[in-house]
Amino acid sequence: MKINTINRKYFSLGELFGYSTSNDDYLSSYNNWDVEYVSSSAENNGVSSMIDAIPSQKWNTLTIARNWSVWTTFYHKNSYCASSDDIRILTPKFNMSSYIWLFLSTIINKESFRFSYGRKLTKDKVLNMKIKLPADESWDPDRDYMENYIKSLHHKPITTKIKSWKYELNIWEWKEFRIWDIFTQDRWKESAPNQNLDWETPIVNETDNNNWITRNVEPTKIFKWNAITISINVWYNVFYQPYDFCASVNIAILKSKYLNKYNWLFIVSLIKHNNKRYSYWYKTSKDKINDMIIKLPVDKNWNPDREFMENYIKNLPYWDRI
């Protein structure tokens, strides 16, 4: 089923939902308890812990994060408790199935770029936010269309042959390394090559999609695969490159002849945790990248433990399906 982008209308969230806050403030948690506690987490449907309490929030509602992962929106099909400071709750003004909720939460999440930790949510900001939705003949939200669209999405349950978890991250036993201790850095210093869809060499540029591959180009200078790329300009992010590539002038490249793709994928995740240090007004540079410190598991000789990193990645749940 295709997305209908023609018969659409802007609706404010205040037209669609009621707005409320939570009075919950539970500090104790334990994994064996069975009530979900929702806070400003961008993962696990916003659930940060399981608590021993009577659920205070009804099922079939949306939660919006007010702090940290601002505007992160999740649909809850079960009753739950929620952080009184971190979460705002949207309740429907008309009947909605779970399929409609999933459609709406995806649309609402797309507005998260408007917010940051320094621009917290208020009631007015939430209720006045407008989203564009499919509309029926009366120009009301087309619930039938939204439900049928979600039902039309095809998928099969994901299976994996990885049954048990063998590796623990004992980070207190890790060692700090500067980037220049373990990597060499390279960079392309000329303008980007010409574009042609018939060429086969991908170019790495500043986009957060598709591993930063924006298009295929005439291969002016080719960097060998098995490297990672880092943006030094508008934002900071890191990707592993599994194929030979070209790069724009805004991309730094880290290389090492000792690391395989499993090691790189492990290290990429660690380097990404430094992205909070950078913004458009505090750009990266060759020296800043080289001086960056990351903590890695080490072997008996206190060198980066490549075997552990490889085995850790290979044993991640569902790794065999990637």
The residues spanned by each domain of the chain are: 8-152, 171-321
Question: Residue 304 contacts by C-beta under 8 Å, 6 or more apart in sequence?
Answer: 177, 182, 263, 296, 297, 298
In this chain, the answer to whether the domains covering 8-152 and 171-321 adopt an identical fold is yes
Question: So what's the pLDDT on residue 212?
Answer: 45
Residue spans of the chain under pLDDT 70: 1-2, 4-5, 25-32, 116-119, 164-165, 187-221, 233-236, 275-284
Record: fold of 171-321: Adenine-n6-DNA-methyltransferase TaqI; Chain A, domain 2 (3.90.220)
> How many whole angstroms separate alpha carbon 224 and alpha carbon 232?
20
Reported as a single tens digit per residue, the pLDDT across 22-74 is 877 655 555 557 888 898 888 889 988 888 888 888 889 999 998 778 888 99
Query: CB of 102 within 8 A of CB of 150?
Result: yes
Report the Cα 268 to chain-centroid distance in Å.
14
Question: So what's the pLDDT on residue 157?
Answer: 76
Domain 8-152: give its CATH code.
3.90.220.20
